Amino acid sequence: MFNPTEDNSGQERLFSWRRIRTMIIGCVLAAIVGLVLVNTYMYLQYGGTMFDRYFRKKDTKSPMAGKLAFDKGTKYYIGVIRDEGHSPRRGNVYYIEQAGGSMIEVSKENVEVRDPEKSDK
């Protein structure tokens, strides 16, 4: 029953193959779960994942980008058109950078587009 010469206490060595394999599998699974959680949060919060820059197609630049935007009704200057897109509230819109640097979206129907004046000074 009790034999002091036999070391059969049921304990493994500190660096046994079984412990190392369990630690490696646990670390890999923890990294994968963490990556999935971070990408899910980024997708829900910001609309994209950290891998979008590698797998997403390059967006074509708007032909109106860089042109000046004026209000159709009053002919007042709004800002510089940076891009165009679609908004659920306003439909087709221009993304316009105003003089202070703030970006706004304005419906295409309300914008008159003009080429910037080139000066040869």
Q: Which domain holds residue 100?
A: 68-114
Residues 73 and 108 in one domain: yes
Q: Whole-angstrom Cα distance, residue 47 to residue 40?
A: 10
Residues 72 and 109 in one domain: yes
Residue 93 CA neighbour count, 13 Å, CB half = 14
Residues 48 and 76 in one domain: no
pLDDT at 58: 67
Question: Beta strand 111-114 with 103-107: parallel, antiparallel or unpaired?
Answer: unpaired
**Mean pLDDT along residues 42-50:** 82
Q: What average pLDDT does the chain have?
A: 84
Residues 41 and 73 in one domain: no
Residues 108 and 77 in one domain: yes
Q: Whole-angstrom Cα distance, residue 91 to residue 32?
A: 39
Tell whether 59 is covered by a domain: no
- Retrieve residue 64's tokens: 């109106």
Tell whether 2 is covered by a domain: no
pLDDT at 2: 60
Q: How many CB atoms are closer than 10 A to CB 94? A: 26
Q: Whole-angstrom Cα distance, residue 80 to residue 75?
A: 14
pTM of the model: 0.50
- pLDDT classification of 3: cutoffs 50, 70, 90: low
Residue after which a domain boundary falls, among 7, 29, 53: 53
Tell whether 9 is covered by a domain: no
Give phi and psi for 53, each to the nearest 5.
Answer: -70, -20
Residues 49 and 81 in one domain: no
- pLDDT classification of 118: cutoffs 50, 70, 90: low
Look at residues 93, 95, 97, 64 and name the one whose alpha carbon lies nearest to residue 80: 97
What size, in residues, is the chain? Answer: 121
Residues 83 and 48 in one domain: no
Residues 40 and 74 in one domain: no
Residues 40 and 77 in one domain: no
Residues 74 and 106 in one domain: yes
Domain count of the fold of the chain: 2
Residue 88 scores a pLDDT above 90:
no
Tell whether 47 is covered by a domain: yes
Q: Rg (Cα) of the chain, in Å, rounded? A: 30
Alpha helices in the chain (DSSP H): 17-46, 52-55
